[in-house]
Each structure stands twice: as C-alpha cells, then as structure tokens.
Structure 1
Amino acid sequence: MSDASSPASTARNIMALVTDSWSTNADRVVMRYTDPADDWIDVTGRQAREHVDAVAKGLIARGIGPGDTVGIMCRTRFEWTVLDLALWSAGAIPVPVYDTSSSSQIDWITSDANITTLFVETEAHAELARKVASDTESPLTAIEVIDKGALDALKAEGASVTDAELEARRTAAGPEDLATIIYTSGTTGRPKGVRLTHGNYTVHVAGIHEELRDVLFEDGASTVMFLTLAHSLARLVEVALVASGTVMGFCPDPAKLVPYMGTFKPTLILAVPRVFEKVYTAAEQKAAAGGKVKIFRWAAKQAIDYSKALDTPQGPSTALTLRHRIAHRLVLHKIVNVLGGNGHWAISGSAPLGERLGHFYRGLGLVVLEGYGLTETNAASHVNRPSRSKIGTVGKPLPGIEVKIADDGEILLRGPSLFAGYHHNPEATAASSHDGWFMTGDIGVEDEDGYLTITGRKKELIVTAGGKNVAPAMLEDRLRAYPLVSQCVVVGDGKPFIAALITLDAEALPGWLRAKGLPEMTVAEASKDATVREHLDRAVERTNKAVSRAESIRKYEVVLDDFTIANGYLTPSLKVVRSRVIADFHERIEDLYASGPTS
C-alpha cells in the first residue's frame, strides 16, 4: 500500500483559489482566446475577474441562488470558463453537459440534477434542449444560447447587483459544499452523476501545485486547452491552471489545434494519447511523401534510444548523443515546431500512451507526464513527476491519495479529493466502496517505488474457454499504436482463442499507402488488399510479443466503419463502448470463430 500526506489548503472554496491568483496576476495575461480571424486576444487577471464578476451579478439578478444546479453545454471556449467561474461566484452548482449529447442524454442529466436553466453554445443545441423542455415532467424552463449573446445579456442585467452582495455569495460555500456534478461518459450503462465538493478541488489543486510546480509555475507557463471541459480531467485542469496563473488558451475546434499550437507556442501540451499518435503519424507520412521516410524512422529510433538510455546508470553514450543531435537537427526539430516550438512538458491521460511514444517524445525534449484517474477521483489520482518520470507507468499517487492493490489486482483508493458519492444513487455509492476504499474497477501493479502500471479493466477481463484470464486493454493499446489502426476491440470471452475487431484510420490511410508505394484505395478496398493485410498481420504479431500464446490475438476482422462519438461507439472522452460494439457486431464476432484461428 502506498500513500501520500494531504497538502494543507487554506482556500475555503474554489473561487478563493481563483481570486487569489487573479489578484497576484492582475496585470499579467492569464487567458487567451481567438477572434474570427484566429488572432489571439489576451485577458489579464484583472480583466478575467471583471468578466466573471459581471456575469455572476447577472446570474444573481436572474434569480439563480445558492445551491441551484445550472447546466453548461458548450465546446471548450473562453465563455465556458467564464460561465463556470461565474456560477461558482454566485453560489450555484455548474453541471457540464457534453456538447455532443443527444436529447435523451440532455433529458437524463437535466432531470437527474434538477436543472432549470441550461446554457448552450448554439441554436442547434438549443433545439435539442427545447425538445426536452417541452416534456411537462422536465424541470428545464430556461435555455440560454451563448452564440446569441446570453453572457452579454447577463452582464447588462447584473448592473444593479452590488459588489458586497456578490462577495457574500462568492465566499459562502465551504469545503463540504457541493461544487459540481459531473456525469460519467457512460461506457457501462446510464451515466452516473459524480458529486464533487469545493474541498475535493481545493485540496487536490494544492497537491497538484505542490507536485507539478516546475510545470505550472515556471516563467511563461502556458497551454492550449482543447479537451472538452465537460470531462472531469479538463475541468480539474481548468481550476488548477487558473489558480496557478498558467496562461490558458482556448481551442474550441480540435481541427485547428496544430495551427493554434504554432501561434500560441505552449510550454505544456495537455492531450490524450490519440493526439500524440496522430502527430507522430502525420510527421511520418509527410516524410514519406517527400521520399524521406527512411531518415524519419532513423531519427525516431535515435530519439527513442536516447530516451531509453537516460534511464540507465551510465546514460547515453557519446556516439548516441551525437546521433541524437544530428537527428534533432535534421528531423526532430520539425515535430517540436509543429507543437509550437516551446513545449517541454506534456500531460497525457484517459488511456495508456505506450512506452514507444513516451520515449519518442522525451527524445524530442518533451517530457510526457502520464497520469491516471477517474471522475470519482476528481480526474487524477496518479501522475509522473517532473523530477522523475517512469515511462510506461502512470506515476505515483498525488498528495492525500492512499493506494492499495486488492488480492485480485483491483486498484483501491481513498483520500480527501475523492468524490462525495453518486447523485440520487445511494445504491451505486454503497457498491463503489469496501471498508472505506473506493473500488476503481481497474487492475494494476505497483513497483517498489510506488509507481503504478495499469494492466486492464476488471469488468473487461476475458476468460477464454480454456480458462485463461486475458486483459484486453494491453493488446488493444499496442495494436492501436500502429499508424493504420484507428480502433481495436479484443474479444474471446468463453471462446477457444482471442480475436479482435479493428477499424482503419481513414485520415492516415492515404499517406500510409503512398509511403508503401501503393495506389489510392478506399477503406473497404484497403481492408481486402493483400499488402495491407500483410502489414496488419505484422502489427498483430508485434502486439502478440507482449503476451503469452494463450493471450495472443489469433484472428482479426476489419470493420469498415470507424468507431466514433457520432455513431455511439466512442464516449465523448474517446473510450470505446465495448458492450455496444460486442452487441452490435455479434454476428461478425461469431463468424471469427466459425473456423479455427489463422495463426
């Protein structure tokens, strides 16, 4: 069992952290957002407080009172954070709703959280919400559209509210008071509302600031926020960044992330593994298009070898150091420039990054601090530290988090940053813990230094007909790292061998084909092409090297339509909804087992 003592937090609530930071950084830029021409607009600490205070006064004038739940359905943009902080300033409880949510999902969240007012980004969102509000049983009565000036209207309405009244609201909430309800993305059924208190945030942020001081408090610290703020990780990061004074730029459209990186030049890259994979793949394809794929792969190998050597007692040899320097000058610096040229820290979460990419990026000079957590742990329980990062692990527990590995390998956690239970669901709350420990549902191992490695999901463990327990996550993550593969679902529960459904990355396919000297093909054509299948076979063989024969993928099927948020096979946080994939592709899976394995 590992544990870390809780840091002291003197802040009464979230807004105490925020206003202290804004006072310290009154004349410094703390946020940036873009105008229609994609030029950055700077916001100082003083200006940020003015925006938030004005909107908070409008909320008070509108009649939103302490403890009222208010929904936010919007992409990650400046207005999201202003509204979030304004609601906390007014004493209300903001409840995020994914901007990709359907009417039925909006209906469930607004009903369960008793939301009467919902702020949405667009008129299209408003139409979905109005369908919900038309039901006489829905609590939803007010739908405000941000794109139609909802925040400006609030500022105008709040002109008569005094500073004293706002201050009384802002300081009223204490550590035990509910700060937000964040609904899980629902990979295993109806989303559950996770209740997080002000104390859950203030203690957690104090610990994050303590452990990541080199990242968040260095001169010029900055990051581009593009992960959805409806997700617990981005929400925690939002509070931690605002409270530290790290400059936060907003990127509502992920398609613009690369150009925004180029003009923003962040010191910190906050992303999920898929982003790091796509940057690598895009660089490889660009090199291939220019006839330089061999030199790219040579340079990538130098980066990986150099990073691995950093973990040895003797360090990189003189010859390796020279090769790495040449690789950086010829190739690697171009990838650094794609990420803005100023990044030297990265935080990756949501899924395993993999050792290959971890070493590759560290070889570029970008230290990826991989972490782990769940919504119930207020997004993060573990993270690698700037002073010592073990690639392939999710790091050590954050301050205040105690860890125990159960006899069956399940990761158990407890500490002051963990959630206060599920909203209106005492049965699920009781079922989530045992003897005071939160049962994460994930399985993992700790090394002698307390660094945690996630090996799978307890509920996803596959038991083959031969009685072999197989954790599909390791196989899926390794196979998904191949540039041509988009998604992978490993199957085999009760079956004689392990198999997999995979989808091809339609964006990566054209460049991959050019690099291999192959003609243009559709995904359907590529799925049947002998050369493509040969390379997929090799990718599966490499994946299987990490496991025993009984755990290896013996057969696979290419599914033509990718798994996406739009078709319901991915959650908004980009996790595969395994149960739905397995149910909808039941016949395809059975066909895999109609004959014996191919390997």
Structure 2
Amino acid sequence: MTHFIDRIRSVMRERADDTAIVQLSSTVASHRAVTYGTLERECGALAAALAGRCPPGATVGLVAANSVPWIEADLALLLGCYVEVPVPLAFSAEQAAHLLAPCSVVLTDDEGRRRFDAWRASAPQAFRSVPCLSIRQLIESAPAGAQGPVAGTGADRVCKVIHTSGTTSSPKGVRIREHGLDALLASLWGNATPQDYERYLNLVPFSLLIEQVTALYMPFSAGGTVVLPPAGEAPLGDPGAVAADKLALMRRARPSAMTLPPSLVEVLASAAHRMAHLDSGALCQALFGRATPPLIAAGGAPVAAKTIARLAERGIPVLQGYGLSENSSVVSWNTRAANRIGSVGKPLPHVACRLGPDGELGIRSASLFAGYSGSDPSACHTDAEGWLWTGDLAEIDADGYITIIGRKKNLIITAHGRNVSPEPAEASYRSVPGVADVVLLGEGQETLSAFVLTAAGADPIALRRELERHGERWLSGVERASTFVFEADAPALRASLFTVTGRPRRQDIERHVRARRA
C-alpha cells in the first residue's frame, strides 16, 4: 500500500507547475492560485521553522480558518511527523482549552489568531502557557530553500487528535492513526477516479476529519485542485453560514466533487425543483457551472430518501454515506454503480459490520482509531474481539446495504411504551420548505412535539399546516409530532443548542422549549 503522505509528496514534486489550490475572491474575475511547487516549498519552510521550536512527535494545535495557511500547516505537520490537533473556530473557550491543553505550540492564520486571542481573553489561565505562532510568519522566517525533517512512513503512529461531538463541554479527542488513513483512502479510491477529484469545492470546516480526507488528501493524491470560498465566507456549520447562500458559490466553482451536509442537499433539491423546465445538461450548468453533475457525497446526518430520489430523477445522483471519526471517518458509502437510496451504502472493502442483539451497529476495520484522549459518556466501546460498537441502531439487508435507524441513546420512549428513533423522522420533516432544522422531543409523553427552526421568510402558521400534511403522508402515527414550537433560525441559537458539527444538544433543547412554554 502506498502511504498517502508519500503519494502527496510525489505529486507536489511531479506536478510543480499545476494548480493545487484556488481561493475564489469576492469578485467573479479574480482569484488566488497556488501551484504544487509553491505548496511544497511553503510546507517545507514551515516544517523547518517549526522544527526549531518543537521536535517531531510533539503535539501541535491548529487554529485557522479554511485557508491556504490551514492547508500548508496540515501538510507540514503530516510530513514532519507531528501530532496535529485542529480546533474549530466556532468552539467556546472552554472547549478549545480542553483540546489544546497538551499542545506544545498552536499555529494560526490571521482569523485563527483573532479567535485564539478571544479565547485567551475569556479564559486567560487556560491559555497562558500555550505559545501561539503565525503560520505565515514562520514560513517567511525560514531560510530560502529550507526543508524540515522528512518523516518516514513505515511505522504506524498517531498523526491527529480530532474532536468529535460529545455530551459535555469537554469534547472527546479521537486519536487518528496514519496507517488508518492509508487504509481508508485505499478503500475510497476503489469507488472513485482521479477525474472525480480534479476540482473539489470545500464547503465545511477543515477541522472535520471527513473534509480533510475528501477535500485535501483525495484531490492532492490525484493531482487535482482544491477550490476554497472567498476569504471571510463562513463554512457551513459555523455561525452565520446559510446553506442557500452556497448555490452561487457552486456555480462559480465548477466542482467535480463535493461532500454536502443534509441542509445543502435539501437546498439543492429545492433549487432543482424551481428549475423544472430545464433538461439535465442545462440544470447542471445552472447549478454547478458545468454540463455534468459532480460527484456528490452526503453524510453527517440522515437525508430524507425522497429528497435524494427527487435529485436522482433530475439526473443528479447523491451518494449517501455513513461514518464516524473513530473509523477515520467513512464506514460505508453508496457508489455510482450501486446507489440504494434510503441506505448509507455497503461497508468499504476494509470494513466489516455486524449488528448486536439490540440492533446496534458494530464495525471492525484497519482504519480504527487508537483510542480517546479524553472521556465522555457518549464514547464508543471496543470489545475484546476488536469490534467498535458505534451507538447507532441499524439494519443490514441481504445485499449488505446498511440503513441507519437512529442513535441508541437518542431513543425516545413514549408514555405508551413505544420506541421512536427520532433521526429518520427529523430528516423527513427537514425536507419541508421553510424548515431550517427540526428536533423531535417526547420522552415519557403520550405524543411527540417538534422544535422547529424556521428559515428566513417562513410563516409559522402556514408552515404548521405543511408539517401536519407532511406527517400524515410520510410518517407513521408514532413518528408524527402533534405539537410544534417554532423559532427563527439564528447563529446564536444554533451555537447554544447544536454542536459544531450540527448535531442537536437534545437535553439543552428540551430545557429551552420548557422555558419558552413556562
């Protein structure tokens, strides 16, 4: 197996004059381009400058926007054999301090430095001993032609500590193995071609491992181009980011591949519906700036099957998958050749799956993590035989396709003793125009209620009627909400009631709804 780091290093040298990164500007005509040759030189300079401050093997934090410096730092840390801890800018000071505590230094770009300073101002003791270094200044300080120590990739090692959503304010750190990423990428390439990753559009934070894999390592391994949004444009999942605003960006970027969160799949389906008069080629041109659809993967939360089916009918396949950081991201994935809508596909070639007695999904693979750097009640359990029990309830059909039913710990048990997994019904309600997000509640109650975040311009009275009609048509009686609580979607509300990756903090939402009703 070719190590992915070695492959990227070879591409940087062999394709020095080709474009590795394009950052779009706020105007249509201009943009910033970085060649593979420039990327190699700047990564080498950064690794050389960093080696003078902390030795290979040290733990280094990365606090930066989705930017060229973020990419340079990530590659330099991989090539230099450091342990990287990327921290989302949307984290609170308490969350950031928890992840950055073991770091020898923290690397930042301009936006990352502003965020780091804000964390330090609100929690000075927590950040007092952590040096903060500018990525750009480190690169510029290195002597011309300087190259840092080149790490060998023969032995396995922990190369990253990735945050994952937890139930406390101290997020779990998932310790990612270099050889685990090798195994994952080898499997992903079994269902994709280099042409798929000629031009990848980045839409979500790089601090998410799935985006590092699909937006950076896949394109760079193929000699493709990573397209970044204009500087200052928040990625989806950050406060202030709106899925509908990304449609214009898609047209400008002309992507060959994207990984979309459910919110953007819903927006895409609505846009395609509004363009019902266009044929497939014209529709793709209008949506993606190209005559054929890009490779579109979807994950992070369930997408309603009827939403994916609507896009498929218009010639735009969406390939839903499933994963978790504990498996270095992807576990299963639908493919162009085998896309069973409603499922999350078959396990990747290096992954084995089975169900426990209660339907919990267990996985065993070559890409499993090396354990947690912290603890949390939501941590996954690995048994003596090496099976990781995910906490997700699933079904596996005779052909091997997996369908995720819901989270084991999110199971709602009504006053009548009925068990309801809320995620599939929430995904269905989310497909109703005007719904920005929805969370079902009802533990110990006779019926379910829905907390609904409304999109801009939505009328709650009309939206209630649409949700009631939708439930009667598409959901069983036990899944349907009988009451609805509406609130306008807003960044501050999202930050308080949802995790950085967009998952609802269900207990916080229950308290919020009770307070509103009081």
1:240 paired with 2:218, answer yes
2:484 counterpart residue number? 556
Cα pair distance change 1:247/1:390, threshold 3 Å: same
Larger helix proportion of the pair: 1
Structure 1, residues 318-355: CA drift from partner, whole Å, max 9, x if none? xxxxxxxxx433x9834642222243320111012222
1:371 counterpart residue number? 321
Q: Secondary structure at the match of 1:483?
A: coil
What is the letter of the counterpart of residue 466 of structure 2? H
Deviation of residue 479 (structure 1)? 0.5
Number of aligned residue pairs: give it.
503
What is the letter of the counterpart of residue 241 of structure 1? P
Map 1:24-103 to 2 at 5 A. 24-35=14-25, 37=27, 39-61=30-52, 63-103=53-93
Q: Secondary structure at the match of 2:404?
A: strand
Structure 1, residues 198-229: CA drift from partner, whole Å, max 9, x if none? 1111111111112222xxx1277211112101
Aligned match of 2:12 in 13, 19, 22? 22
**Structure 2 Cα separation of the partners of residues 424 and 26 of structure 1:** 41
Q: Give structure 1 stretches of 5+ with no counterpart.
A: 1-8, 145-149, 288-295, 300-326, 510-525, 592-599
2:151 counterpart residue number? 171
**Structure 1 Cα separation of the partners of residues 379 and 494 of structure 2:** 30
Do the aligned partners of 1:73 and 1:121 also contact (CA within 8 Å) in 2? no
**Structure 1 Cα separation of the partners of residues 195 and 145 of structure 2:** 38
Aligned match of 1:104 in 94, 101, 106? 94
Q: Secondary structure at the match of 1:423?
A: coil
1:457 paired with 2:444, answer no
Deviation of residue 412 (structure 1)? 0.3
What is the letter of the counterpart of residue 441 of structure 1? G
CA-based RMSD of the aligned residues comes to: 2.7
Do the aligned partners of 1:563 and 1:570 also contact (CA within 8 Å) in 2? no
Aligned match of 2:227 in 245, 249, 261? 249
**Structure 1 Cα separation of the partners of residues 382 and 415 of structure 2:** 30
2:187 counterpart residue number? 207
1:154 paired with 2:131, answer no
1:198 paired with 2:178, answer yes
**Structure 2 Cα separation of the partners of residues 282 and 328 of structure 1:** 11
**Structure 1 Cα separation of the partners of residues 83 and 361 of structure 2:** 30
Q: Secondary structure at the match of 1:106?
A: helix
Aligned match of 1:571 in 482, 499, 502? 499
Deviation of residue 174 (structure 1)? 4.1
1:495 paired with 2:423, answer no
User: Which one is further off, 33-42 or 469-478?
Assistant: 33-42
What is the letter of the counterpart of residue 56 of structure 2? P
Cα pair distance change 1:468/1:175, threshold 3 Å: farther
**Structure 2 Cα separation of the partners of residues 277 and 575 of structure 1:** 17
1:533 paired with 2:464, answer yes
2:267 counterpart residue number? 278
**Structure 2 Cα separation of the partners of residues 263 and 488 of structure 1:** 31
**Structure 1 Cα separation of the partners of residues 506 and 269 of structure 2:** 27
What is the letter of the counterpart of residue 180 of structure 1? K
**Structure 2 Cα separation of the partners of residues 397 and 386 of structure 1:** 15
Q: Secondary structure at the match of 1:408?
A: coil
**Structure 1 Cα separation of the partners of residues 104 and 431 of structure 2:** 41
**Structure 2 Cα separation of the partners of residues 451 and 398 of structure 1:** 11
1:307 counterpart residue number? none
2:365 counterpart residue number? 415
What is the letter of the counterpart of residue 374 of structure 1? L
**Structure 1 Cα separation of the partners of residues 33 and 266 of structure 2:** 31
Q: Secondary structure at the match of 1:421?
A: coil
2:201 counterpart residue number? 224
Deviation of residue 36 (structure 1)? 6.1
2:238 counterpart residue number? none
Deviation of residue 416 (structure 1)? 1.1
**Structure 1 Cα separation of the partners of residues 347 and 153 of structure 2:** 28
Do the aligned partners of 1:402 and 1:413 also contact (CA within 8 Å) in 2? yes
2:309 counterpart residue number? 359
Structure 1, residues 71-110: CA drift from partner, whole Å, max 9, x if none? 1122212221111111222222221110112211221111
Cα pair distance change 1:449/1:563, threshold 3 Å: farther
Q: Secondary structure at the match of 1:81?
A: helix
Do the aligned partners of 1:32 and 1:250 also contact (CA within 8 Å) in 2? yes
**Structure 2 Cα separation of the partners of residues 491 and 106 of structure 1:** 30
- Of structures 1 and 2, the larger Rg is shown by 1
Q: Secondary structure at the match of 1:211?
A: coil
Map 1:115-514 to 2 at 5 A. 115-122=104-111, 123-131=113-121, 134-135=124-125, 138=127, 140-144=129-133, 150-159=134-143, 162-163=146-147, 166=148, 169-187=149-167, 190-213=170-193, 217-218=194-195, 221-237=198-214, 238-251=216-229, 253=233, 254=235, 257-282=246-271, 287=274, 299=276, 327-329=277-279, 333-334=282-283, 336-341=285-290, 342-425=292-375, 431-433=381-383, 435-506=385-456, 509=458
**Structure 2 Cα separation of the partners of residues 258 and 236 of structure 1:** 23
Do the aligned partners of 1:268 and 1:346 also contact (CA within 8 Å) in 2? yes
**Structure 1 Cα separation of the partners of residues 159 and 170 of structure 2:** 22
Q: Secondary structure at the match of 1:218?
A: helix
1:10 counterpart residue number? 2
**Structure 1 Cα separation of the partners of residues 420 and 80 of structure 2:** 50
Do the aligned partners of 1:503 and 1:563 also contact (CA within 8 Å) in 2? no
**Structure 2 Cα separation of the partners of residues 275 and 379 of structure 1:** 20
Cα pair distance change 1:187/1:121, threshold 3 Å: farther
Do the aligned partners of 2:380 and 2:391 also contact (CA within 8 Å) in 1? no
1:516 counterpart residue number? none
Cα pair distance change 1:196/1:416, threshold 3 Å: same
Cα pair distance change 1:499/1:428, threshold 3 Å: closer
**Structure 2 Cα separation of the partners of residues 156 and 424 of structure 1:** 36
Structure 1, residues 336-382: CA drift from partner, whole Å, max 9, x if none? 42222243320111012222221222233322111100111111111
User: Which one is further off, 401-410 or 253-262?
Assistant: 253-262
Deviation of residue 138 (structure 1)? 4.5
Deviation of residue 45 (structure 1)? 2.4
What is the letter of the counterpart of residue 65 of structure 2? R
Q: Secondary structure at the match of 1:21?
A: helix
Do the aligned partners of 2:321 and 2:344 also contact (CA within 8 Å) in 1? yes
Cα pair distance change 1:188/1:340, threshold 3 Å: farther
What is the letter of the counterpart of residue 289 of structure 2? G
Taking only the aligned residue pairs, the percentage that are identical comes to 25
1:322 counterpart residue number? none
Do the aligned partners of 1:174 and 1:198 also contact (CA within 8 Å) in 2? no
Deviation of residue 33 (structure 1)? 1.6
Cα pair distance change 1:78/1:259, threshold 3 Å: farther
Cα pair distance change 1:428/1:343, threshold 3 Å: closer
What is the letter of the counterpart of residue 57 of structure 1? A
Structure 1, residues 258-279: CA drift from partner, whole Å, max 9, x if none? 3332232111132111012123
Deviation of residue 458 (structure 1)? 0.4
**Structure 1 Cα separation of the partners of residues 225 and 92 of structure 2:** 33
**Structure 2 Cα separation of the partners of residues 97 and 396 of structure 1:** 31
**Structure 1 Cα separation of the partners of residues 493 and 204 of structure 2:** 14
Cα pair distance change 1:183/1:565, threshold 3 Å: farther
Cα pair distance change 1:365/1:17, threshold 3 Å: same
